[in-house]
Amino acid sequence: MDIKKDSFYEDALEYHRNPNGPGKISITPTKAIATQRDLALAYSPGVAAPCKEIEADPACVSEYTARGNLVAIITNGTAVLGLGDIGPLAAKPVMEGKSVLFKKFAGIDAIDIEIDEKNIDKLVDIIASLEPSFGGINLEDIKAPECFEIERRLKEKMKIPVFHDDQHGTAIIVGAAFSNWLAYSGRDIKKVKLVSSGAGAAAIACVNLLVALGLPKKNITLTDRAGVVYKGRNEGMDDAKLPFVQDTKQRTLKDAIKGADVFLGLSGPNVLDKSMVKTMADAPLIMALANPTPEIMPEEARAAKPNAVICTGRSDYPNQVNNALCFPFIFRGALDVGATTINEAMKLACVKALSALTMAEASAEITAVYGDIPLKFGPEYLIPKPFDSRLILELSPAVAKAAMTSGVATRPIKDFAAYRQRLEKHIFKSGQLMQPIYARAAARPQRIAFAEGEETRVLHAVQTMVDDNLARPILIGREEVVLNRIKKVGLRLQKGRDFELVNPESDPRFNDYWQSYHKLMERKGVTPASAKQIVRTRNTVIAALMVHKNDADTMICGTIGRYDHHFRHITEIIGMADGASTYATLSAMILTKGVYFICDAFINENPSAEQICAMTLLAAAEVKKFGIEPKRGDPRQAVSPFGTQGPGQSPHHAQYRRRQHHLSHAEGDRRRHRGGSPADGHQKIGADPDPLRHFARHPQRRRLRLRRRRAAGKEEAHAQNKEQGRRPQKTWKKMNS
């Protein structure tokens, strides 16, 4: 394949060279090795403990090592993308890229292994010998027909999943697209005629899977470089093609394509032309999957058959047949149940899950990713998008269940609801944090007024709330706009059944609301006319009035507009809770090391000691609702950028020490029996109580610390010299001056 060395080519080189060093992957420890004890636990002598346990029970290797979440991506570089036989070393960037996709989409650690061997016997022996190291094997870019034999032998020898993605990954996505095309077009699978251009590894795997879905073999015609695979042909034949030989007089693709319902292209660029497409059946399915240049460009195919449904392997056209839709999630499900293989039942379960996902309404997350691209089942949305966050939640459990049902799972999953929650952590970092909130919401659904009820992402969120019975939504917006957008994005929401609608233009409570608002705001210069205009045009005001008048339990606003504008309306109408003395916000940062709560980043620019005290106590109470008990030294409860015992003497240092003092006394009685104050600056339990240790992170503070320690040492030496009658050192005089 000719590569154009343009600016994109140079960008790709720079991407692989920088930043963060060459390549796309690295190995990061999952355990801390900060002390001598950590080292002893991680290596000798502590490592002997899991070794003995695994020796006694090999099944527990996934409990003590990373093997249960580790996949080897193996190639010999004989059929790399569209590059051909470029060898194992040149194939390494592709394999590293595959590793990134495993981690990105399914949280699976994957190591690329490039093997310089073409002999089938030797290659099989090398790969099979790796079984103790990995939980699964992903074969990649190995040419046909050798790949069929290599995979077959490895499956016989190994007791872990072996999956040739070029074959089966492509087949699964093609199977899902084909199934959904049948549903869209109303075709009878028994009467569908399919012609394939290409009879390599991917094409053979595709037609085999389509046969498993119900497509008769007699309806399939294979073509390759030598033409139609017909009975009696000897040129370029192998065992994989034999089941699909046809007793026919057709010899070329042009002959075979006449009257075909489906074209499956897994060959090369421009092998199908408009004249051939015109001879196909009405409204055909054209899957032109050669990359980067397909067998026919979609524009040409549509010019010949305007009602054709078209799939390609390219990301710049609808219906991209992308293996990333499959392989991370089928391995995720297989690894999580300790599957000994990936069988036909698991592949078919993946096909059905993909098909069903396409027909479900799009989530708010995927809508945000793809913007204005239509994501409603139809001719341009036949298969899901690669960045659909629901893939792992639907495909992996389906694969795991199929493994259990077919008897290849060694660690069956008992609670699939809990398993689904574990999967959510790979896509929604907030999932685990929010579980206690969801549980409380489901136990007693509240009336929530959504100020921006016309916004698409609000509508998606409301659909999720309704499905999970988390709330009783109230949408504030124009009825025509809300209902049209619900229909446009394909949601199942129905007015009256699923949500209450408050139309600012015609709600019967308008007079009551503007009069209430005027009563609250008349002393601030709001006239009756202004009150009417504000209540008619400011949805946040309407939502706040609903809460104020007990027509709603709470409200959500701010998906559009400025924060301070929304906040002003809320404070003017709802005000502070009983017993509260200050307003404050609470934000959460979810990092790899844990969750950090920040209070307050929006409202109080320079809070007083009393405000700090009040908002910290309120924040601690809110944190408990997430199932987290604030503890002494908890960095999520640090309130000051300064150490509590630091040397700073500026007004800001003194002010923060006063705030710390207030907070300690406010909670002292309640916390004393637990061993300390609720917030202790940045000082953590078990850490070195050096009062200056926090300053070492900054050059100026580090120099200050060194100067003071040096000065303290010199002062002590000066005192000793004076007692012994010696003269002070000149260096001390110089520093002292």
Distances (CA, A) of 487 to 456, 483, 571, 630, 674: 11, 6, 35, 45, 56
Side-chain half-sphere exposure of 268, counting CA atoms within 13 A = 7
Decide if 570 contacts 583 (C-beta within 8 A): no
Which contiguous run of DSSP H or E holds residue 277?
helix 274-278
Active-site residue 563, yes or no?
no
Q: In b/e form, how buried is each residue of 152-162, taking b as 16+ CB within 10 angstroms? A: ebbbeebebbb
* DSSP percent split of the chain into helix, strand, coil, nearest 5: 50, 10, 40
CA Rg, the chain, in Å?
Answer: 33
What's the CA gap between 17 and 425, in Å, rounded?
31
Decide if 107 contacts 131 (C-beta within 8 A): no
Which contiguous run of DSSP H or E holds residue 479?
helix 479-488
Selected catalytic residue, list 9, 15, 43, 563 = 43
Task: Kindly tell me the sign of the dihedral angle through the C-alpha atoms of 410, 415, 420, 424.
Answer: negative
Amino acid 20 reads N
The pair of structure tokens assigned to 203 is 């094409």
What's the CA gap between 158 and 151, in Å, rounded?
10
What's the CA gap between 542 and 512, in Å, rounded?
11
DSSP-H helix ranges across 57-91 = 61-64
Rounded to a whole number, what is the distance in angstroms from the first to the last CA of the chain?
75
By CB atoms closer than 10 A (0-12, 13-18, 19+), residue 213 is middle
Decide if 289 contacts 265 (C-beta within 8 A): yes
What's the CA gap between 648 and 651, in Å, rounded?
9
Decide if 524 contacts 492 (C-beta within 8 A): no
What's the CA gap between 734 and 163, in Å, rounded?
74
Selected catalytic residue, list 98, 155, 347, 385 = 98
- Residue 368's CB is within 10 A of a number of other CB atoms, namely 12
- Go through the chain and tell me how many residues it has: 737
Distances (CA, A) of 615 to 405, 483, 583, 612, 679: 53, 41, 7, 5, 12
DSSP 287: E
Phi-psi region of 398 (alpha: psi -120 to 50; beta: other; left: phi over 0): alpha
Active-site residue 98, yes or no?
yes
Give 453's contacts (C-beta < 8 A, 6+ positions apart): 459, 474, 475, 476, 477, 482, 501, 502, 539
Active site residues: 43, 98
